[in-house]
Amino acid sequence: MNLSSPVICALTALFVSGSALADSRQQADDMARILEGFPDITAEDLRPSPMAGIYEISLGSRMAYVSADGKYLIQGDLYDVATEENLTEERRKAARVRSLENLSESSMIVFAPEKATRSITVFTDIDCGYCRKLHRDIDGYKAQGIAVRYLFFPRSGPETSSWFKAEQVWCAEDRNSALTTAKAGGTVESEDCGTTPVAEHYNLGRTFGIRGTPAIIADTGELIPGYVSPTELISYLEE
């Protein structure tokens, strides 16, 4: 039988589309099975990973991997051997960016130059020594064109002195000045202003896996732990 090229092309396309449909059905079955075994996650938290037969679970910027049968869970980073790229960290970075985009600057305390060329989001603890060191250099960051957006992360947790200090700063009439006073060891007196964003910031930091402060999030979503001087930071960001 002599098949013309158009017929061959049509049969090939039919085979490929049929194969893709089978793969799609297999993925749907796998994901349904996994969701049944992990009731705390939703379909939006689950997607195929770059590795065949393995699916990615993402809760904020926390990532894990699960086998197609839902029996095995892998916690760790996934690398591309050829490029040495950390694929898991790239996913974390994107998740951090999305989370911060959903957080209004009106719920932050921002120190920005007139013309900012870069911005960083810093999870800070008022009683943290290196957080205070970072804030003493705030003019240096601004001089480098870096806007510093502060979020509260009292490491001691809720109902502690550091937590209450953060709430007092937020409730102050001039929050920027109050934060500077508190980080210098001064006392901030303010009236109770109701619900503050401290808990929201703290919970977001926990989803980012933050344990220590200062924790700097670059505008790319990269997490830079600890204090970095203004000149070192701008050099790093511009790379």
Alpha helices in the chain (DSSP H): 5-37, 87-101, 129-136, 138-143, 161-171, 175-183, 198-207, 230-238
111, β-bridge pairs? 148
Tokens of 110: 């921002």
Collect all residues with Cβ–Cβ distance below 8 Å to 64 and sequence separation of at least 6: 56, 57, 73, 74, 75
Active centre residues (catalytic) = 125, 128, 131, 155
Pairing of strands 46-48, 118-124: unpaired
Q: Taking the C-alpha atoms of 156, 161, 163 and 169 in order, what is their torsion angle to the nearest 10 degrees?
A: -140
